[in-house]
Amino acid sequence: MLTKESLQFLDDLRTNNNREWFQDNKKRYEIFKKDYHQLVSDFLDAMKPLDPALEMLEVKNCTFRINRDIRFSKDKSPYKSHLGVWLSSGAKGLNRAGYYVHIEKGASFIAGGFYSPEADDLKKIRKEIAFFYDDLEAILNEPGFKKEFGDFNRDERSMLKNPPRGYEKDHPAIEFLKLKSFETVQKFDISEVTKKDFVAKMSQKLILLKPLNEFMNRALETEEF
């Protein structure tokens, strides 16, 4: 869990997102950072026994810098007023499916799967779906998964209007093949974060995404023939 003081720091940063305020509150940030890293450590302790693929991860592999990349953004706010925890078996430089925890006032959620894969990875995932869509359907229809996550996110930004090149519109998995992103999400209230059972509760939900992550990673690791 995070402390109320850490959540207050993020809230204050949201309304004072400038370098001068940040420098004046550097001690608060250092306390927040320590709290953040402890949260990540707690998630690793909870998730590693459930998914051995995460065994080699350390805290430093699962955190994000508080500085925003503003080079191509209209929003020039220099700092993030949220935090994320990313647990993935992908080696450095390799994108892989994984588990994500996002903590932000009014917009907290847990998620899993593969968010916006690059073109080559997207091609591999679609190929896996085309041949093994029955495996994917079984994963999404598992009662625990269905209850907690329902389905993939299917907003306009994550789907093609027409079938992707090379696939017919009557392919039995066409609604999966039209996806450009393969993540599933469950929102939660930020008040959950300060509860003692937060990590345990969220870990039991996240592990339901393990078969989905394995399906996605299988697609990316399969040798081309």
Q: From residue 96, give the alpha-carbon distance in Å to each of 22, 31, 52, 126, 193.
A: 33, 31, 15, 15, 26
pLDDT tens-digit profile, the chain (225 residues): 899 999 999 999 999 999 999 999 999 999 999 999 999 999 999 999 999 999 999 999 999 999 998 888 888 899 999 999 999 987 555 789 999 999 999 999 999 999 999 999 999 999 999 999 999 999 999 999 999 999 999 988 889 999 999 999 999 999 999 999 999 999 999 999 999 999 999 999 999 999 999 999 999 987 654
The CA-to-CA distance between both ends of the chain, in Å, stands at 47
Look at residues 143, 146, 140 and name the one whose alpha carbon lies nearest to residue 173: 140
Q: Where are the domains of the chain?
A: 4-221
Residue-wise pLDDT for 31-68, tens only, equals 999 999 999 999 999 999 999 999 999 999 999 999 99
Helix axes 26-47 and 4-15, enclosed angle (nearest 10): 130
**Which CATH fold topology does 4-221 show?**
BirA Bifunctional Protein; domain 2 (3.30.930)
